[in-house]
Amino acid sequence: MTDAVYSARDGSYYVANYLAGVQRLRAGQAPETFAANGPASGSAYSLLSDAHTGITDVFTGGYTDRYLPFFRVEGFYEYTAGQWTNINGALPAATYPNLPDVARGARTADGTLYVASYGNGLLEWKGPGQFRTFTEGTTGSPLRRTIAANDPNFISVRVTDLAPDATGGVWVANQHRQAGVSGLFRFDPAAAAWSAIPYFNGSQNLDRLAIDNLGQVWASEARQGGDGLWVVDPNTSANRKFSLATDPATSSDVILAGIYDIVNDRAGAIWVTTAAGVAVLDDPSGALAGTSTFRLPVVQRGEGSRFPVLYSEVVKSVAVDGANRKWFGTDNGLWLFSADGSEALLHFTTANSPLPTNRINDVAVNDKTGEVWVATDSGVLAYRGGATVTEGKPSCAQVFPNPVRPDFAGLVGIGGLANDALVKITDVAGHLVYATTATGGTVTWNLTDADGKRVRSGVYLVLTSDANGQNGCVSKVAVLSK
């Protein structure tokens, strides 16, 4: 409780509750809660946007760059179908265990959410009251506490990241820093059983995880007390460490350290973001054999000019959209690059966007809607991206907004397309206004014709087909111009 007032008019106390919002308390009656449709906290450490469930999760975090816990007990919050649900200490303990410093999350194919706590292990969450927790001492759990040098009795079971694999397992990084003891585990939800990758140097001090298309596990060492990242074969436990990346512009090697994020893109390449830029390994199939190496992707700046992507920038996160383009969250705003990183497409900062700060903590893309979610220390926001992934047979195009009002100055989105669909927009007389190819399953239209002028008021036809010209469909959009 932060404040309270008494109303003599109705005999009620109105209480400001930090977690629950405003509550009205009346004698002999249950508390009545008034809360806005929004997150209960402005803390936004990491994101998970799942296209299959339609849920975007925001985790309040987390830990500092020096791996000190925030000691936050703010839980996490979920967004779906225009509504926010806050999952925090305002709920009864039997409904939610209120773990400290919930850092990250991952969903398995059945929609179950797994949450990493940088303080009390792993949470398996199926909904309020439907959960399991795993920490040091839980039957079968291999998770270990971090031993604090100044307080050996301090219990802090730190899970830094999670990654689901194709067979329903969940990989867990447990940063305990106990030498000689592994911190890389796999949890089998169906059997409620754990297995461990044998210890390798640095596996007690891991940070981020990713699974590639071959099922190999990629694990970065913590930025403090470690460097580089490992690839591990989960079947044989064979591993290899990567500590260098080649700069194609100079043909020299640079140290691969200070890793913030790892992602497997739609072409199967492994991208990592660091405190000094970005690196990519194009062919993971040669990772263990030593035939594949990391390189710095380069931006083409005119003929003969090549410069590493976001060189020397602190790049904290990367997300891949439906067109395999890369969204990078940095300490200098949000960037969008082409699929191979050779072209910078967009750069958002506080100067040209609603971003509340240029320091981006995390980025996530919803493959179905194309929304790009951005987490900052000052809250979370979403940007309507231009690339989605369509699964199964596409339906007719979905056009939004529709109708288009005279004062609308944004981009019209056309979604639900076949991946890489052909799109043509004509007037009702059949005159071509616009033509393009979808990036993923979505395109955008700026409401202009071939001459760059805003189209006149009227009904326009959106003709779509797949990349082979098959499965054609026609949608309509009404445009009102001034």
* pLDDT band at residue 73 under the 50/70/90 scheme: very high
31 band by pLDDT with thresholds 50, 70 and 90: confident
Specify the pLDDT at position 276.
Answer: 96
Please give the share of the chain, as a percent, with pLDDT higher than 70: 93
What SS3 string covers 14-63? Answer: EEEECCCEEEEECCCCCCEEECCCCCCCCCCCEEEEECCCCEEEEECECE
- pLDDT over threshold 70, residue 146: yes
Cis bond leading into 304, ω under 30°? no
| pLDDT computed for residue 26 by the predictor | 80
Mean pLDDT of 47-75: 95
Task: Of 290, 291, 269, 287, give the one whose Cα is nearest residue 279.
Answer: 269
pLDDT surpassing 60 at residue 315: yes
Query: Can you list the domains of the chain with their CATH numbers?
Result: 3-34 (no CATH), 46-384 (2.130.10.10), 398-479 (2.60.40.4070)
By mean pLDDT, which of 128-137, 148-157, 262-271, 411-420 is the weakest? 148-157
Rounded to 5 degrees, what are φ and ψ at 284? -65, -15
Under a CB-based contact definition with an 8 Å cutoff, are residues 379 and 39 in contact? yes
pLDDT at site 385: 72
Mean pLDDT of 427-437: 87
| Cβ contacts of 197 within 8 Å, gap of 6 or more | 182, 184, 185, 186, 203, 217, 232, 234, 237, 239
452-456: Cβ within 8 A, 24+ apart: 454/481, 455/427, 455/479, 455/481, 456/481
User: Residue range 198-213: average pLDDT?
Assistant: 97
Residues 6 or more apart whose Cβ sits within 8 Å of residue 298: 248, 249, 306, 307, 308, 309, 341, 342
* The most confident of 22-31, 99-108, 402-411, by mean pLDDT: 99-108
pLDDT of 29 reads: 78
Least confident of 81-85, 281-285, 400-404: 400-404
pLDDT score recorded for residue 393: 55
CB 25 within 8 A of CB 12: yes
**Mean pLDDT, residues 186-190:** 97
Tell me if 190 sits within 8 A of 168, measured CB to CB.
Answer: yes
Q: What angle do CA 307, 310, 311 make, to 5 degrees?
A: 60
pLDDT of 116 over the 60 cut: yes
Per residue in 215-257, pLDDT (tens digit) is 999 999 999 988 999 999 999 999 999 999 999 888 899 999 9
Q: What number is the average pLDDT over the span 312-335?
A: 95
Inform me whether the pLDDT recorded for 53 exceeds 70: yes
Whole-number pLDDT of residue 165:
96
Q: What is the pLDDT of residues 464-476, one digit of tens each?
A: 888 777 777 888 8
pLDDT at 350: 94
Q: Does 390 score more than 60 pLDDT?
A: no
Check residue 121 and give its pLDDT: 98
Q: Quick one: CA torsion of 193, 199, 204, 205, rounded to 10 degrees?
A: -110
Q: Which of 372, 353, 352 is nearest to 362 (CA)?
A: 372
Residue range 49-75: average pLDDT? 95
pLDDT score of 154 more than 80: no
Q: Of 31-35, 206-210, 387-391, which range is least confident?
A: 387-391
Quick one: tokens of 363? 């980025």
Say how far apart CA 113 and CA 77 lie, in whole Å: 12
Top pLDDT among 32 and 349 is at 349
* Six token digits for residue 242: 């990567």
pLDDT of res. 466: 80
Q: Is residue 10 over pLDDT 60?
A: yes
The pLDDT score that the predictor gives to residue 392 is 53
Decide if 114 contacts 106 (C-beta within 8 A): yes
Span 110-127, average pLDDT: 98
The pLDDT tens digits of the residues spanning 401-412 come to: 889 988 888 888
The CA distance from 428 to 83, in Å, is 38
**For position 38, what pLDDT does the model report?**
79
Count Cβ atoms below 10 Å from residue 246 Cβ, excluding itself: 16
Arithmetic mean of pLDDT over the chain? 90
The pLDDT, as a whole number, for residue 441 is: 77
Residue 7 has what pLDDT? 67
Q: Which of 2-11, 105-114, 159-168, 273-282 has the lowest mean pLDDT?
A: 2-11
What's the mean pLDDT in 453-466? 90
User: Between 153 and 326, where is the model more confident?
Assistant: 326
The arithmetic mean of pLDDT across residues 326-342, rounded, is 95
At residue 265, what are phi and psi to the nearest 5 degrees? Answer: -85, 180
- What is the phi-psi region of residue 113: left when phi exceeds 0, alpha when psi lies from -120 to 50, beta otherwise? beta
13, amino acid identity: Y
pLDDT at 152: 67
Residue 1 has pLDDT above 60, yes or no: no
In angstroms, the CA 204 to CA 187 distance is 17
**Cα(310)–Cα(176) distance, integer angstroms:** 32
